[in-house]
Amino acid sequence: MSGMDGYQVCQTLKSQPKTADIPVIFISALDEIMDKLKGFNVGGVDYITKPFQLIEVQARVKTHISLRLLQKELQLKNQLLEEERSRSGQIQADLFPKLMPILRLGFELAARCFPAQEVGGDFYDWQLLEAGCLNFTLGDVMGKGMPAALLMTTVRATLRALGAQYTPATRIDAAQALLASDLGGSESFVTLFHAQLNCRDRQLSYIDAGHGLVLLKRANGEIKPLLKGGIPMGILPEQNYQSGNILFEQNDALLVFSDGLPEVFPDAIKRPEVFTSLLQGTTSATDILNRMFRLVPANTALLDDLTVLVLYCR
Assess whether pLDDT exceeds 90 at residue 41. Answer: yes
Q: Which residue has the higher pLDDT, 253 or 4?
A: 253
From 78, 97, 129, give the residue that closes a domain.
78
Domain match, 180 and 252 both: yes
Within a domain: residue 195?
yes
Domain match, 69 and 116 both: no
Assess whether pLDDT exceeds 90 at residue 308. Answer: yes
Within a domain: residue 1?
no
Within a domain: residue 251?
yes
Q: Of 237, 235, 217, 239, which Cα lies nearest the Cα of 226?
A: 217
Crossing angle of helices 168-186 and 145-161, rounded to 10°: 150
Q: Which residue has the higher pLDDT, 306 or 131?
A: 306
Within a domain: residue 293?
yes
Number of domains in the chain: 2
d(CA 247, CA 79): 52
Within a domain: residue 208?
yes
Give the CATH number of the domain where residue 257 resides: 3.60.40.10
Q: Which residue has the higher pLDDT, 123 or 89?
A: 123
Residue 123, judged by CB atoms within 10 A of its CB (0-12, 13-18, 19+), counts as buried
Give the CATH number of the domain where residue 13 resides: 3.40.50.2300
d(CA 191, CA 16): 52
pLDDT band at 59 (very low <50, low <70, confident <90, very high): very high
* pLDDT, averaged across the chain: 88
Of 161-170, 211-220, 244-253, the least confident: 161-170
Within a domain: residue 93?
yes
Domain match, 33 and 125 both: no
The whole-number average pLDDT for the span 254-262 is: 92
Residue 165, pLDDT score:
65
From 49, 78, 107, give the residue that closes a domain.
78
Domain match, 138 and 185 both: yes
The whole-number average pLDDT for the span 19-24 is: 92
Residue 164, pLDDT score:
67
Output the CA–CA distances (angstroms, integers) from residue 130 to 59, 111, 137, in the order listed.
76, 22, 18
What are the pLDDT digits (tens) for 183-203? Answer: 888 888 999 999 999 998 999
Assess whether pLDDT exceeds 80 at residue 154. Answer: yes
Residue 89, pLDDT score:
72
d(CA 7, CA 35): 10
Boundaries of domain holding 267: 89-313
Within a domain: residue 209?
yes
The whole-number average pLDDT for the span 28-56 is: 94
Q: Of 122, 101, 104, 121, which Cα lies nearest the Cα of 112?
A: 122
The whole-number average pLDDT for the span 204-213 is: 93
pLDDT band at 145 (very low <50, low <70, confident <90, very high): confident
What are the pLDDT digits (tens) for 259-298? Answer: 989 888 888 878 888 888 888 888 899 999 999 888 887 7
Residue 286, pLDDT score:
93
Residue 26, pLDDT score:
95
Domain match, 62 and 125 both: no
Residue 112, pLDDT score:
92
Domain match, 176 and 66 both: no
Domain match, 177 and 28 both: no
Domain match, 138 and 198 both: yes
Domain match, 39 and 175 both: no
Within a domain: residue 84?
no
Domain match, 97 and 23 both: no
What are the pLDDT digits (tens) for 90-101? Answer: 777 777 888 888
Domain match, 126 and 60 both: no
From 45, 78, 111, give the residue that closes a domain.
78
Assess whether pLDDT exceeds 90 at residue 303. Answer: no
Domain match, 173 and 40 both: no
Residue 269, pLDDT score:
78
Output the CA–CA distances (angstroms, integers) from residue 199 to 110, 128, 187, 204, 287, in the order listed.
16, 11, 38, 8, 21
CA 233 to chain centre: 20
